[in-house]
Amino acid sequence: MKVLVIGSNGQLGADVVRVLIENKIDYFPATRKDVDITNPQAIRHLIDQQQPTVVINCAAFHDLSLCEQSPDIAMRVNRDAVRSLAEVCKQNSIKLMHISTDYVFDGSKEEGYTELDTPKPINIYGKSKLAGERAATEAHASTFIVRVQSLYGQTMPSGKQHNFVNLMLKLGSERDELKVDQCLMAPTWTYPLAKNLLELLKTDKYGTYHMSCKGRTSWYEFAKEIMTLSNTPTPVIPVSNDFFPRDFNRPENTYLIKGNLEEIGLNLMPSWKEALEGYLILKSSNQN
Ligand SMILES: NC(=O)c1ccc[n+]([C@@H]2O[C@H](COP(=O)([O-])OP(=O)(O)OC[C@H]3O[C@@H](n4cnc5c(N)ncnc54)[C@H](OP(=O)(O)O)[C@@H]3O)[C@@H](O)[C@H]2O)c1
């Protein structure tokens, strides 16, 4: 197996690379300098050059406000580029794993979403990612679509200084209290996620999968646990989901139920609390 990781310097891409190294799997880490995925010729050139047997696409245009302001860019990166990638993979008999999002759902379903639920995105980001899922599966049968959610990792998200955990730790040390909303999800550390992606990739059970840490919580509860585990006494105050003004619609409950992974015995994710503990231990050992 040789894996081409697209978006390898992003939050998830960096941990995919880490896990490939740990497993001694041949790989090529492609950043935007190696390939702008909106350029089909550049994709073809890189595939010819690297001859991968598998491509994992972790690249996306996912700043929700910018997606609203520039829907054409969102569609170019999250739909059209994904179609081009899938077409090239098909022509070269390469497995494709494409990373998608919980934001393909509208967030109105109380118990969360299985792979059987009908997507109904309510913002441009979600619409463009759903269009990308469909483009990839139409173009290439050997495609895994993996919907993930609420990521944090050792590498910060592209263009940002902090992930949610690090931001709470920073603000917790600076402020008298933290106000956090109560949207529901499963916060997910990218390192165990990358390990689970690799296990799925070793199969040929193509299709759509939900993959996130086990257990559902709210951003408020998550922030409280971050304060507890880091011994930060700053109180966390729950606020309504529209407390912070936004210029995009935000789904309120997008907890992903991992039915398809359970069915193939590959729901290997830790609980969100175990993952948070692991992340904080690693973070503090890296600081020492
Ligand atoms: N973050 C979350 O909470 C979350 C939640 C649900 C789903 N997801 C999905 O998970 C995946 C990984 O997200 P992430 O948080 O790891 O994102 P990230 O840290 O922002 O990384 C995205 C990567 O995509 C690259 N990229 C963007 N446009 C590109 C282009 N035209 N050509 C080549 N590379 C390009 C970026 O490169 P530059 O650094 O050069 O811009 C960056 O390396 C994405 O598919 C995202 O939609 C994320």
The Cα–Cα gap between 14 and 154 comes to 8
For residue 285, give every residue at least 6 positions away whose Cβ sits within 8 Å of its Cβ, in sequence order, or none. Answer: none
pLDDT given at position 288 = 72
- Give the architecture-level CATH label for domain 2-287: 3-Layer(aba) Sandwich (3.40)
The Cα–Cα gap between 79 and 83 comes to 6
pLDDT given at position 230 = 97
The Cα–Cα gap between 14 and 7 comes to 8
Q: Is 147 in the pocket of ligand 1 (CB under 6 A)?
A: no
- Following DSSP, what letter does each residue of 101-123 receive, concatenated? EGGGS-S--TT-B-TTSPP---S
Give residue 11 CA to ligand 1 midpoint distance, Å: 7
Banded model confidence at residue 178, pLDDT cuts 50, 70, 90: very high
First to last CA, the chain: 36
What is the average pLDDT across 182-200? 98
DSSP-based three-state secondary structure for 169? helix
> What percentage of the chain has pLDDT greater than the value 70?
100
Number of neighbouring beta carbons within 10 Å of residue 155:
18
> What percentage of the chain has pLDDT greater than the value 90?
98
- Residue ranges per structural domain of the chain: 2-287
CA 205 to chain centre: 20
User: What atom of ligand 1 comes closest to residue 155's alpha carbon?
Assistant: 19
Q: Phi first, then psi: what are they for 215, rounded to 5°?
A: 95, 145
pLDDT in tens, 201-245: 999 999 999 999 999 999 999 999 999 999 999 999 999 999 999
Give residue 175 CA to ligand 1 midpoint distance, Å: 30
Q: Is 149 in the pocket of ligand 1 (CB under 6 A)?
A: yes
pLDDT in tens, 31-67: 999 999 999 999 999 999 999 999 999 999 999 999 9
What is the average pLDDT across 7-27? 98
Q: Which residue has the tokens 């069915």?
A: 263
pLDDT given at position 167 = 97
Q: Is 163 in the pocket of ligand 1 (CB under 6 A)?
A: no
Give residue 33 CA to ligand 1 midpoint distance, Å: 14
Does the pTM exceed 0.85? yes
Q: Is 59 in the pocket of ligand 1 (CB under 6 A)?
A: yes
Catalytic residues: 125
DSSP-based three-state secondary structure for 167? helix
DSSP-based three-state secondary structure for 70? coil
pLDDT given at position 287 = 82
